[in-house]
Amino acid sequence: MKHKLTVLVAISAALTLAGCSQTTQSHTQSSQSKTSKVAKNSSDNSNTSTASSKNKDTYTKLSASKMDYKTTASAIAVYAAQKYGDTWEIAVNAAKQGNLGVAFRSKDATGITSDNDGYVYEVSGTGKSSNARYMLAGDGADKQVTIFVKQRNLGTTSLKDIVAYLNKKNDADLVKQLAEKTQLNVKLAGDEDTQKTTNNSSASVIPSSLQGTWYTADTGNGNIDTLTVTDNKINDEAGFSMNVKAKNSGSSTSDGYMKQTTINGISLYSFTNMGQTPGQGSTYLAPHTEDGQSVIVSANSNGRTNAVYWKSEALAKKNSNKQFSDLKY
């Protein structure tokens, strides 16, 4: 009996040990499995984070050494619009809705004086003649770009520096979008039609007292702006251009009509787009005299003076931002 009891105790102890061993093994495997899953998830999150970081820091870049003619024209236009505004900004904003047209013109045709013997590239977003112009010299990334508003030289920089400026502002996508809509060697409307009309003396509309080339320094920044008036066209450096007809007829956005009116005791001529009535949005000009000099007064619809234009740049600089007692401001 004693022997049997001993055997039973031994068997019981063996079974107990076996059970503990299986429990320990199962617990160990479970822990290892969990650890493996945690490590895998941690690795997956790390990879996702790295990919996200790479995507966040990756932007489209322009390369000055790998740029075709259309992209070059687009890059110059976007750069000039941001750097100088004015008629360049008008051209780019219009091009976003349509096409960026680039006409090849001679220096003689534009009146630009420069040592550069190449073409003058005239940029427009409306298909009409524009004052946004540039010239090129050299090749590749070191190509020199001289930027103009009409005949005024705004400065020269390299294509490489233009690209660096645009990449810094992350504007490569805008440049490429405009490049897809850029048309080279186009014919811009305006100059040819104006010349034909000007040759016809019966088409003269604008009085001779307003005609000529006029200058003002009433710009707030000391720059000289030019106003050119022929017998039937007005053109200024801010991008405003109008073919002037004798009567309000039709709805052409490039044509306007002239009407005489008196505001604040000054006889003004209003120039208004076809299909509209004179008022806000019209251009008001008046031949006048200041300091014994013939001038043109530019005013708003309330007769308040915006600028006084003079016959020479020297007179314009001399009278920069000067207010005259006989004018309303």
What amino acid occupies position 157? T
Across 38-126, the runs of DSSP E, i.e. the strands, are: 100-105, 120-124
Average pLDDT over residues 15-29: 46
Instruction: Answer whether 159's CB lies under 8 Å from 143's CB.
Output: yes
Tens of pLDDT, residue by residue over 89-130, are: 999 999 999 999 998 888 878 888 888 777 889 999 999 888
- Distance from C-alpha of 316 to C-alpha of 329, rounded to nearest angstrom: 18
Average pLDDT over residues 257-279: 88
Question: Which of 95, 60, 66, 65 lies closest to 80 in space, CA to CA?
Answer: 95
Report residue 89: phi and psi, to 5°: -65, -40
pLDDT, residue 190, reads 67
Q: Among the listed ranges 172-186, 216-230, 247-261, which one has the minimum average pLDDT value?
A: 247-261
What is the phi-psi region of residue 187: left when phi exceeds 0, alpha when psi lies from -120 to 50, beta otherwise? beta
- Distance from C-alpha of 156 to C-alpha of 232, rounded to nearest angstrom: 34
- Distance from C-alpha of 97 to C-alpha of 95, rounded to nearest angstrom: 5
- Distance from C-alpha of 295 to C-alpha of 275, rounded to nearest angstrom: 30
- Strand, coil or helix: what is 48? helix
- pLDDT of residue 221 exceeding 90, the answer is no
pLDDT, residue 253, reads 63
Tokens of 201: 């003396």
Average pLDDT over residues 244-249: 85
In the predicted model, what is the mean pLDDT of the chain?
79
- Distance from C-alpha of 162 to C-alpha of 168, rounded to nearest angstrom: 10
Spell out the residues 6+ positions from residue 52 whose beta carbon is closer than 8 angstroms to its own. Answer: none
Strands 212-216 and 225-229: what pairing?
antiparallel
